[in-house]
């Protein structure tokens, strides 16, 4: 995985048909997804529960691009090796998930993955000050994690602050929650390069009607690229 700040659209399979993940992943990739975003929830760190390492390992066989695994679980450390073994390219842990995010990020890299750190809407950018050298991606949550289809919470000031804190480091800024053609441009203008979108990609489409996924991805991308050019 080489680093650049071009706009990347990462559909979240949280909004896919849970009985058909393999074909859903293939459909979004064929329709222009840059990365595949995989939301792991434990019913403890967040109120919702999704899937764990064996399912993620099964997804891997279908992902040709980048498997971006977002852990909404606590604790994280006991599961890092299982997600490496499952084939995650990027493994993201929440700064709020425990007292030792520094150790967690080191362990993710040591297991051979890119390390991401996610930050909830209520947590200040400064919480990441001492871990930016250990991160390959910062995921700014623009909803409180746990569910797809929630209302966007504007975190553009936090994104701007993080963009400045990151400076020349090769660290992606990913935005997760409520991304659509209306909300994405503001985040890109503030410094984001990876846009996660669940409902805005999957709405109206299906494996049989996959061209809708393509239309939805293109709509987000062209709105976002407009903002990137203007910035
Ligand atoms: C929220 C998840 C998101 C979610 C985004 O807890 O981390 O990735 O699927 O869904 P939308 O785009 O519908 O807000
Ligand atoms: Zn996510």
CB of 139 shorter than 6 A to ligand 1: no
- Residues of the domain holding 197: 8-230
Structure tokens at 201: 């990609």
Structure tokens at 113: 């993955």
Testing ligand 1's pocket by substitution, the residue of 11, 143, 181, 204 carrying the most ligand atoms inside 8 A of its CB is 143
Other residues' Cβ atoms within 10 Å of the Cβ of residue 44? 12
With respect to residue 180, please indicate whether it lies within any of the assigned structural domains: yes
Task: State the DSSP H helix or E strand holding residue 93, giving kind and residue range, or none if neither.
Answer: strand 90-94
How far is it, in rounded angstroms, from Cα 198 to Cα 148? 6
Residue 231 has pLDDT above 80, yes or no: no
Ligand 1 atom with the shortest distance to the CA of 46: 6
Residue 2 has pLDDT above 90, yes or no: no
With respect to residue 3, please indicate whether it lies within any of the assigned structural domains: no
% of the chain at pLDDT higher than 90 = 97
pLDDT of residue 228: 84
How far is it, in rounded angstroms, from Cα 89 to Cα 69? 8
Q: What is the largest CA-CA distance in the chain?
A: 47
pLDDT tens digits, 41-70? 999 999 999 999 999 999 999 999 999 999
How remote is the CA of residue 12 from the centroid of ligand 2, in Å?
Answer: 7
pLDDT band at 164 (very low <50, low <70, confident <90, very high): very high
With respect to residue 26, please indicate whether it lies within any of the assigned structural domains: yes
CATH code for the domain of 156: 3.20.20.70
Ligand 1 atom with the shortest distance to the CA of 150: 14
Task: State the DSSP H helix or E strand holding residue 200, giving kind and residue range, or none if neither.
Answer: helix 199-202
How far is it, in rounded angstroms, from Cα 179 to Cα 187? 9
pLDDT tens digits, 179-216? 999 999 999 999 999 999 999 999 999 999 999 999 99
Check: CB of residue 220 under 8 Å from CB of residue 18: no
Give how many domains the chain has, as a whole number.
Answer: 1
With respect to residue 132, please indicate whether it lies within any of the assigned structural domains: yes
Other residues' Cβ atoms within 10 Å of the Cβ of residue 231? 10
pLDDT of residue 47: 97
The residues annotated with a catalytic role in the active site are 39, 176
How far is it, in rounded angstroms, from Cα 62 to Cα 145? 25
Testing ligand 1's pocket by substitution, the residue of 14, 24, 33, 72 carrying the most ligand atoms inside 8 A of its CB is 14
How remote is the CA of residue 84 from the centroid of ligand 2, in Å?
Answer: 18
Check: CB of residue 195 under 8 Å from CB of residue 216: no
How far is it, in rounded angstroms, from Cα 231 to Cα 180? 19
Q: Calculate the average pLDDT of the chain.
A: 98
Check: CB of residue 174 under 8 Å from CB of residue 152: no
pLDDT of residue 1: 81
How remote is the CA of residue 63 from the centroid of ligand 1, in Å?
Answer: 19
Task: State the DSSP H helix or E strand holding residue 140, giving kind and residue range, or none if neither.
Answer: strand 137-141
Residue 112 has pLDDT above 80, yes or no: yes
CA angle (48 as vertex; 44, 53 as ends), nearest 5: 80
How remote is the CA of residue 37 from the centroid of ligand 2, in Å?
Answer: 7
With respect to residue 220, please indicate whether it lies within any of the assigned structural domains: yes
pTM, two decimals, is: 0.98
With respect to residue 1, please indicate whether it lies within any of the assigned structural domains: no
CB of 70 shorter than 6 A to ligand 1: yes
With respect to residue 119, please indicate whether it lies within any of the assigned structural domains: yes
With respect to residue 107, please indicate whether it lies within any of the assigned structural domains: yes
* Cα dihedral: 180, 66, 192, 149 (round 10): 30
Contacts of 101 (CB under 8 A, 6+ apart): 93, 95, 117, 131
């Amino acid at each position: 995985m080489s680093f650049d700040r071009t706009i990347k659209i990462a559909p979240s399979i949280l909004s896919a048909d849970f009985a058909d993940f393999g074909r859903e992943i293939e459909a979004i990739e064929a329709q222009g997804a840059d990365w595949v975003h995989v939301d792991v929830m434990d019913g403890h760190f967040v109120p919702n529960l999704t899937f764990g390492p064996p399912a993620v390992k099964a997804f891997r066989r279908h992902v040709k691009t980048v498997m971006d695994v977002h852990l909404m679980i606590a604790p994280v450390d006991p599961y890092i090796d299982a997600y490496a073994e499952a084939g995650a390219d990027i493994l993201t842990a929440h700064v709020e998930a425990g007292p030792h995010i520094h150790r967690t990020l080191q362990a993710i890299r040591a297991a051979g993955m890119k390390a991401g750190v996610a930050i909830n809407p209520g947590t200040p950018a400064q919480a990441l000050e001492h871990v930016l050298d250990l991160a390959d991606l910062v995921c700014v949550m623009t909803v409180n994690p746990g569910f797809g289809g929630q209302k966007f919470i504007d975190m553009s000031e936090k994104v701007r602050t993080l963009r400045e804190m990151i400076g020349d480091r090769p660290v992606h800024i990913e935005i997760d929650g409520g991304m659509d053609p209306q909300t994405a441009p503001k985040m890109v203008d503030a410094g984001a390069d990876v846009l996660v979108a669940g409902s805005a990609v999957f709405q109206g489409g299906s494996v049989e009607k996959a061209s809708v996924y393509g239309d939805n991805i293109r709509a987000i991308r062209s709105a976002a690229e407009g903002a990137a050019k203007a910035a």
